[in-house]
Chains A and B, each alone.
Chain A
Amino acid sequence: MPAVLMCEDLAISRWGNDSVSEQWSDELTAFSRAFAGAAVFGIPLVFTMEMWWIGKSLPPMYLFAVFVIGFAANLGLAHVAGFRDEHSLAMSIDQAVDALAVGVLSATFLLFGMNQLRFTDGIEQGVGMVMLLAVPLSLGASVARQVFSGRTNSQGEGTSDLSAWQGVWADVGATAIGGVFIGMSIAPTGEVEMIAAGLRWWHLLTLIGLSLVLSYLIVFASGFDEASPPGPFQHPLSETMLSFLISLGVALIMLLVFERISLEDPASEIFRQTIVLALPASIGGAGGRLVI
């Protein structure tokens, strides 16, 4: 009898652990989707200097108003789209809160990597910029599932028919196209040069880290990409690294084409600007691999 009880206890305990790990796995996927959506849809505004300036100069009451409007918009989006599968009112409120928090965190990390949020600055400026940018980033989080989940349902079956090397080339092409799609709206602007000018080595490392992590989150952790064919570059790590290298190339070409840099410029300047533009390019590239 005790043996039976022990077995039952073990079974309950195991079921409980599975359930808990499943809950956290679901949460991880949900938040990965949220960060992915925030990055893809919000990155052009993060690279807009007027947003930094408005964030610095906007009176607090306006900032609170923007935040309230952002919450209401997220609530509506969570009800019809969202980054979770549930759409009840309580869950929509949860998602709207979560989306805004994701926006705040994303804005903080991105602005820090771009040296627009400095430890030496006053809290007033930093908070204003983060609050203002958190809203568009959170809206991206709220529409992530609706936009990206299409691939596994409709186009995913077609992609999985590709051979391993065809799959690699499809990914390379999609990364380049996605990178150009997002990067082209940023490459001609003065922000890239302005950001690059103030970067220290730890900012460059942070930007490279953000490019790799966001690219990984968008394609793999979000659970959107379920139809990749097997191949030498389909492992999450190798595909993320390869796509970052492609994004660097795409960023360099765009900067040259728009004459933001020339090959006569110092190598360190070319390197800095390329790393800066590679962030939106790699986010676009990751989005491209999901959508195309």
Chain B
Amino acid sequence: MSASSERTTAERITLLASLLILVGILALATWANMRTGDAPPTIQVEAHLEDVRETDSGFYLPITITNTGGLTAQDVTVTGELDTGEEQPETADITITFLAGGEEESAEMVFTTDPNDGEFTVGATSYLNP
């Protein structure tokens, strides 16, 4: 068999399928790169105040963190501050190890008082260029 390199029909079909898979993944990578580009990371944080969960251990606030830039951000730190005007503002931190361009992560911040009862601010405070 090694002397003849004649492909059988089955080998031709599987080769075609393999080529399609490889072309597909390379095309996806190219398209994804063109879509996100080489823009530096831009971290957008959205707090879903309407979806706060009240439990015995506190108020759970869902957060969505999105990197709308093109490049990946490492060790992204997101800080939320809740100021009810009575005591010291309450803070909560979230760290995300890697947030690629276009990637979205969900998280929850926990406070002892309802974030809807005070002034709540949230945003990314730092990240590392990998």
Contact = CB atoms under 8 A, between A and B. Distances in A.
Given A124-B100, A128-B100, A56 B72 contact: yes
A97 B97 CA distance: 34
B5 interface: yes
B14 A27 contact: yes
Given A57-B72, A123-B28, A98 B14 contact: yes
B2 interface: yes
A122 B102 contact: yes
Given A56-B98, A88-B2, A125 B30 contact: no
Given A24-B10, A57-B72, A88-B5, A131 B29 contact: yes
Contacts of B7: 90-91, 94
A24 B36 CA distance: 42
Given A105-B21, A130-B25, A121 B14 contact: no
B29 A125 contact: no
A160 B11 CA distance: 33
A63 interface: yes
Interface in A97-140: 97-98, 100-102, 104-105, 120-125, 127-128, 130-131, 134
A131 B17 CA distance: 17
B10 A27 contact: yes
A26 interface: yes
B103 A125 contact: yes
B2 to A, nearest CB: 5
Contacts of A91: 2, 5, 7
A20 B13 CA distance: 12
Given A57-B74, A122-B101, A127 B29 contact: yes
Interface size class of A (residues with CB under 8 A): 35 or more
B8 A60 contact: no
A47 interface: no
A97 B72 contact: no
Contacts of B9: 20, 23
Question: Chain B contact residues (Cβ within 8 angstroms of A): what range?
Answer: 35 or more
Nearest to B28: A127
A241 to B, nearest CB: 29
Interface string B94-109: 0001101111100000
A224 interface: no
Nearest to A21: B10
A131 B25 contact: yes
Contacts of B126: none
B22 A104 contact: yes
A63 B8 contact: no
B33 interface: yes
Contacts of B71: 57
B39 to A, nearest CB: 12
A85 interface: yes
Interface in A1-45: 20, 23-24, 26-27, 31
B100 A125 contact: yes
B49 interface: no
Nearest to A49: B97
A97 B15 contact: yes
- Of all A-B residue pairs in the complex, the 6 with the closest CB atoms, nearest first, are A101-B18, A122-B102, A57-B72, A23-B10, A88-B5, A90-B5
21 contacts: A20-B10, A56-B103, A57-B98, A60-B33, A85-B1, A86-B1, A88-B3, A89-B5, A94-B15, A97-B19, A100-B22, A104-B21, A121-B103, A121-B104, A122-B32, A122-B103, A123-B31, A124-B103, A125-B103, A127-B32, A131-B29
Interface of A: 20, 23-24, 26-27, 31, 53, 56-57, 60, 63-64, 67, 85-91, 94, 97-98, 100-102, 104-105, 120-125, 127-128, 130-131, 134
